[in-house]
C-alpha cells in the first residue's frame, strides 16, 4: 500500500514535471513488522527504552528475515539512550511517536573519531555516538507518519556554552559506511550537534523531513552529507542554529589522507531559516567535493544564502557546483565564497595544501532585504576560477559603495545587480561557465 502510494506520488511528479531524484533508492515494504512494545518498550516519557531498542534490533539482525523487518514505534514518548540500527530494516515512527534522547550525558557511549577528521570535530580524541547510529549497513529506512526524533539537546548546548564538554557532542542520526538509505516523513528536533550525518555513504535519499532547533543552539546543522556520493536531499523544511545543509568531505591532513570525496549531491526544494548558511559547501572539503546541484531554495532570516567555505591546509577541491532558483528574504550576505575560514584540527596541517575551487555557477537568484550582496575571497596561491554569476538581483538594505568584495578570483557575471566586482569581468559563455545551463 505504502509502496504503491510512493510510486503513485513519484509518477504524478513525473507527469506534472516536478523533478525528483528520490527514485534513486526505492521505498521497500518489509515482509515483517514488530513493535517496540513487544520488547518491553514503555512510551511514558520516563522509562528508559535503550534495552528494548537494542533487543528489537538484535532480533532483526539475527533472524535476518528475507524482505527485512519494520520496527514500529507507536504514539507515545520513548525515552532512550543511543542505539545502533542494522541492515534491511525500517524504523517507523507513528503519528505522535517521539523517540526522545536521555539527557544523561555521563553514561553516553563513546566511539572512535572519524578517520577523515583525525579527532572529534570539537574536542580531541573520541566522540559521543549519535543517538541513532549505524555503521557498515545496507538498506536502512527511517520513516513514519511525522513522528519525532527529539535530541533534548539543551544539556549539551549548555556544556558547550560553559566549556565543560569532555568530548565532541553526539549527532542525532549518523550513518557510516552505509548504502541504500531513505530518511523521510519524520521530524528531527533539538539535536545536541549536527542533525543528520551520512558519512562514507552512497545512495542516500532524505526527503519530506522537518528539522528544527532554536536559532541560538550551537552547531545544530540540518543535514551534512560527508564523503558520500549519490545523495538526494529534497522537499525539506529546516530551521536550526547553524547551516541548513552543508556538504563536507573531511578535515585537513586527515581528510586528504582518507581521500573520500562527496559527489553527485542534489539539494532541491529546501525551505528554511538559519543564522548561518542556507546551503553551504565546507568548510571541511579535504577529500574533494564535486557535481553538486542546488535548486529551488527559499530562505528567510538567514546569515549567508549560499556559502562556499574552505581554507589553506584543507587541500582537496570544490568543483562543478551549480546553484539555481534561490529566493532570499532578509539575509546578511547573499553569496559568500571564502578561502580563509580558519579552523584546523591541529598544527600538523600543511599550509601548502591549498584547495582548488573551480567551476561554480550561481544563477537566477532573487534577494530582498540583503545587507551585502557578495563576498568572494579566493586564495593568493590558489585563486578561485570560473566563478560564474548570472541573472542575480539583490535589493540591498543600504546601498554600499562596494556591494561586492572580491579578491583572488576570476570568472564572469551577467545581469547581476548591484553590479559585481571587476574580477568577474570575463565574458559569460559556455567555454568559461561549463556548468551554466
Ligand atoms: C554501535 O556500533 C559502534 C560501531 O559503529 C560500536 O562501537 C558500538 O559499541 C555499538 N554500540 C552498541 C551499544 O552496540
Ligand atoms: C510528507 O510527510 C507527511 C507526514 O510527515 C505525510 O503526511 C505526507 O504524505 C508526506 N508527503 C509525501 C509526498 O510523501
Ligand atoms: C509535521 O510536524 C512538524 C513539526 O511539528 C510540522 O511543522 C509539520 O507541519 C507536520 N507535517 C505534517 C504533514 O503534519
Ligand atoms: C519558493 O517561493 C516561491 C515564491 O513564493 C514559490 O513559487 C515556490 O514554490 C517556493 N519554493 C519552495 C521550495 O517552497
Ligand atoms: C557536473 O555535475 C552535474 C551534476 O552532478 C553532472 O550531471 C555533470 O555531468 C557534471 N559536469 C561535469 C563536466 O563533470
The per-residue pLDDT string of the chain (437 residues; one tens digit each, 9 = 90 and over) reads 555 655 665 555 555 668 999 999 999 999 999 999 999 999 999 999 999 999 999 999 999 999 999 999 999 999 999 999 999 999 999 999 999 999 999 999 999 999 999 999 999 999 999 999 999 999 999 999 999 999 999 999 999 999 999 999 999 999 999 999 999 999 999 999 999 999 999 999 999 999 999 999 999 999 999 999 999 999 999 999 999 999 999 999 999 999 999 999 999 999 999 999 999 999 999 999 999 999 999 999 999 999 999 999 999 999 999 999 999 999 999 999 999 999 999 999 999 999 999 999 999 999 999 999 999 999 999 999 999 999 999 999 987 778 999 999 999 999 999 999 999 988 777 778 866 55
Which residues, other chains included, contact 15 with Cβ-Cβ below 8 Å and sequence gap of 6+?
none
Q: Which ligand has its closest atom nearest to the C-alpha of 174?
A: 1
Rounded-to-integer distance, Cα 310 and Cα 339, Å: 5
Domain boundaries, the chain: 1-187+202-208, 243-437
CA dihedral 217, 292, 359, 373 (to 10 degrees): -40
CATH topology for the 1-187+202-208 domain: Pectate Lyase C-like (2.160.20)
Rounded-to-integer distance, Cα 98 and Cα 80, Å: 10
Long-range interactions of 56-63: CB distance < 8 A, separation 24+: 57/83, 57/84, 57/85, 57/86, 57/89, 59/34, 60/34, 60/86, 60/88, 60/89, 61/86, 61/87
Q: Relative to the CA of 146, which ligand 3 atom is closest?
A: 1
Q: Would the CB of 12 count as within 6 Å of ligand 2?
A: no
Cell numbers found for residue 225: 552529507
What pLDDT score does 87 carry?
98
**Domain 243-437 of CATH type 3.40.190.120:** no
Strand partners, 143: 92
Which of 55, 81, 82, 84 has the most ligand 1 atoms within 8 A of CB, as the residue to mutate?
Answer: 84
CA atoms within 13 A on the CB side of 317: 13
Q: Would the CB of 262 count as within 6 Å of ligand 5?
A: no
Rounded distance from Cα 292 to ligand 5 centre (Å): 8
Q: Relative to the CA of 265, which ligand 5 atom is closest?
A: 5
Q: Relative to the CA of 189, which ligand 3 atom is closest?
A: 4
Q: Would the CB of 298 count as within 6 Å of ligand 4?
A: yes
What pLDDT score does 8 carry?
62
Residue of minimum CA distance from atom 2 in ligand 3: 146
Burial class (CB in 10 A: 0-12, 13-18, 19+), 37: middle
End-to-end CA separation in angstroms for the chain: 39
Length of the chain in terms of residues written: 437
113, 120 Cβ separation under 8 angstroms: yes
Rounded distance from Cα 320 to ligand 5 centre (Å): 6
Rounded-to-integer distance, Cα 313 and Cα 285, Å: 10
Q: Would the CB of 127 count as within 6 Å of ligand 1?
A: no
What pLDDT score does 198 carry?
99
Q: Which ligand has its closest atom nearest to the C-alpha of 299?
A: 4
CA–CA distance from 61 to each of 55, 86, 140, 208 (Å)? 10, 6, 12, 28
Rounded-to-integer distance, Cα 171 and Cα 18, Å: 32
Rounded distance from Cα 57 to ligand 1 centre (Å): 12
Rounded distance from Cα 157 to ligand 3 centre (Å): 25
Residue with cell 580531541: 124
What pLDDT score does 426 carry?
83
Residue of minimum CA distance from atom 11 in ligand 3: 146
306, 338 Cβ separation under 8 angstroms: no
What pLDDT score does 400 carry?
72
Q: Which ligand has its closest atom nearest to the C-alpha of 184?
A: 2
Residue of minimum CA distance from atom 2 in ligand 5: 291
Rounded distance from Cα 236 to ligand 3 centre (Å): 11
Rounded distance from Cα 147 to ligand 3 centre (Å): 9
Q: Which residues are catalytic?
A: 242
Smallest CA-to-CA distance from 211 within 186, 174, 233 is with: 186
Q: Are strands 127-128 and 179-184 parallel, antiparallel or unpaired?
A: unpaired
What pLDDT score does 346 carry?
95
Residue with cell 535503550: 50
Phi, psi of 50 (to 5 degrees): -55, -45
pTM comes to 0.96
Q: Which ligand has its closest atom nearest to the C-alpha of 262?
A: 5
Q: Would the CB of 320 count as within 6 Å of ligand 5?
A: yes
Amino acid at each position: 500500500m505504502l509502496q504503491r502510494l510512493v510510486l503513485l506520488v513519484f509518477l504524478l511528479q513525473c507527469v506534472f514535471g516536478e523533478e525528483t531524484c528520490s527514485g534513486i533508492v526505492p521505498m521497500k515494504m518489509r515482509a515483517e513488522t514488530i513493535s517496540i512494545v513487544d520488547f518491553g518498550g514503555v512510551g511514558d516519557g520516563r522509562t528508559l527504552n535503550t534495552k528494548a531498542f537494542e533487543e528489537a534490533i538484535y532480533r532483526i539482525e539475527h533472524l535476518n528475515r528475507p524482505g527485512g523487518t519494520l520496527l514500529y514505534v507507536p504514539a507515545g514518548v520513548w525515552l532512550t539512550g543511543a542505539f545502533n540500527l542494522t541492515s534491511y530494516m525500517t524504523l517507523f515512527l507513528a503519528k505522535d511517536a517521539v523517540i526522545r534522547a536521555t539527557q544523561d550525558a555521563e553514561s553516553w557511549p563513546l566511539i572512535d573519531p572519524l578517520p577523515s577528521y583525525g579527532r572529534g570535530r570539537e574536542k580531541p580524541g573520541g566522540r559521543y555516538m549519535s543517538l541513532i547510529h549505524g555503521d557498515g549497513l545496507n538498506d536502512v529506512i527511517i520513516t513514519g507518519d511525522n513522528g519525532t526524533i527529539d535530541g533534548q539537546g539543551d544539556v549539551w548546548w549548555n556544556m558547550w556554552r560553559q566549556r565543560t564538554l569532555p568530548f565532541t557532542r553526539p549527532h542525532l542520526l549518523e550513518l557510516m559506511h552505509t548504502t541504500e538509505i531513505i530518511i523521510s516523513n519524520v521530524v528531527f528536533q533539538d539535536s545536541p550537534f549536527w542533525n543528520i550525518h551520512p558519512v562514507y555513504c552512497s545512495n542516500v535519499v532524505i526527503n519530506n523531513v522537518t528539522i528544527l532547533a532554536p536559532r541560538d543552539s550551537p552547531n545544530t546543522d540540518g543535514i551534512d552529507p560527508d564523503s558520500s556520493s549519490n545523495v538526494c536531499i529534497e522537499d525539506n523544511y529546516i530551521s536550526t542554529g547553524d547551516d541548513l545543509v552543508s556538504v563536507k568531505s573531511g578535515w585537513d591532513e586527515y581528510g586528504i589522507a582518507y581521500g573520500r570525496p562527496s559527489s553527485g549531491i542534489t539539494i532541491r526544494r529546501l525551505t528554511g531559516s538559519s543564522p548561518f548558511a542556507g546551503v553551504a559547501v565546507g568548510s571541511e572539503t579535504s577529500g574533494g567535493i564535486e557535481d553538486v546541484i542546488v535548486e529551488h531554495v527559499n530562505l528567510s532570516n538567514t546569515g549567508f544564502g549560499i556559502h562556499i567555505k574552505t581554507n589553506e591546509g584543507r587541500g582537496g577541491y570544490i568543483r562543478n557546483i551549480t546553484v539555481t532558483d534561490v529566493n532570499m528574504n532578509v539575509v546578511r550576505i547573499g553569496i559568500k565564497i571564502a578561502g580563509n575560514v580558519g579552523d584546523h584540527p591541529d598544527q600538523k596541517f600543511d599550509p601548502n595544501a591549498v584547495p582548488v575551487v573551480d567551476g561554480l555557477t550561481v544563477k537566477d537568484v532573487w534577494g530582498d532585504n540583503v545587507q551585502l550582496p557578495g563576498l568572494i575571497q579566493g586564495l593568493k596561491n590558489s585563486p578561485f576560477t570560473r566563478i560564474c554569476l548570472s541573472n542575480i538581483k539583490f535589493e540591498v538594505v543600504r546601498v554600499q559603495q562596494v556591494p561586492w568584495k572580491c579578491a583572488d578570483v576570476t570568472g564572469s557575471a551577467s545581469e547581476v545587480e548591484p553590479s559585481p566586482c571587476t574580477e568577474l569581468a570575463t565574458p559569460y559563455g559556455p567555454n568559461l561557465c561549463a556548468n551554466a545551463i
